[in-house]
Amino acid sequence: MKQLFKRLFVGDKSMESLNEYIHLSREVSEALCKGMPIVSLETTIISHGMPFPKNVETAFAVEQEVYRSGALPATIGILDGKIRVGLTPAEIERFGMEGLSATKTSRRDFAYVLSKGLTGSLTVSGTMIASHLAGIPFFATGGIGGVHRHGEDTMDISADLEELSNTPVVVICAGAKSILDIGRTLEYLETGGVPVIGYGTDEMPAFYTRESGYKLPMRVDTPEEAAAIYRISRSLGFPGGMVIANPIPEKDAMEKEKIDRAIADAVSKADEQGITGKDVSPFLLENIVAETGGESLAANIALVLNNAYVAAKIAAAYCGRTYVKDAFA
């Protein structure tokens, strides 16, 4: 952990400076010391993924789902020059209210955001880094980034994919966001040596829908199976993480034709308006919510809650115990 932190942030400074940049909540610190299961949660989904106040309500609901399912939630973001692991309710609300003004933060952005004292909402890749620094191997999110449509021309590829090759954190998600080129995303992950494992499915989920048409070579059906794979990967010293692709619950899944049409319209608008880079995903998601009359937002919330549940169960299986909220009172 110290070597990774040194490489990421502090160059040739002493390891004592680590505390300058990262703060663990009391609950997270105690849970780590006692080997309790913890699930990391991101902040970009709060600031950039949903409108206020639904974003804050969802963040609290996701934390409660992790608690109920046997693990400690640790929402992570950058505030006032520190990576904060285990945000307070007031800090979560701050991310929700700041919204798009918060800086989306991945590997490239950490040093800048910390040095300027900015509010940094962590992406999937950013949360993986912070989670690994804190010693938390499990992370629940909505969907990973990937190769954008027309990526063969634009080279617009999410930093999430490189991070998955380099940082040993398990990301539990509903597949890649369906606004992306899922086929090329899977090819990229395969080249990077990242296992993409279907949870109760043989097919890559497509975020809002349970099927994408792309078969997966690996499948697990229990938290214990997923935990065992990660344990062996770490024992072998492999540097990267893995994706647990957990489909949206069937009752919450959207009609494929409807969501495909909404995505196509949103992508067309983005092209017409010249939207590029890190602005693409928030733009597309906002337009898809409008196109579907809010149905996509409801699906997004449902799949995140489902991923939080599965992540907590896998973390508990890995640790061989469940977290009791009042254990340290």
Encode the chain in three state secondary structure.
CHHHHHHHHHCCCCHHHHHHHEEECHHHHHHHHCCCCEEEECCHHHHCCCCCCHHHHHHHHHHHHHHHCCCEEEEEEEECCEEEECCCHHHHHHHHHHHHHCEEECHHHHHHHHHHCCCEEECHHHHHHHHHHHCCCEEECCCECCEECCHHHHCCECHHHHHHHHCCCEEEECEECCCECHHHHHHHHHHCCCCEEEECCCECCECCECCCCCECCEEECCHHHHHHHHHHHHHCCCCCCEEEECCCCHHHCCCHHHHHHHHHHHHHHHHHHCCCHHHHHHHHHHHHHHHCCCHHHHHHHHHHHHHHHHHHHHHHHHHCCCCCCCCCC
30 annotated active-site = no
CA atoms within 13 A on the CB side of 262: 23
177 annotated active-site = yes
User: Which member of 42, 93, 291, 295 is catalytic?
Assistant: 42
User: Which member of 104, 177, 278, 313 is catalytic?
Assistant: 177
Strand partners, 10: none
Q: Which residues are catalytic?
A: 42, 177
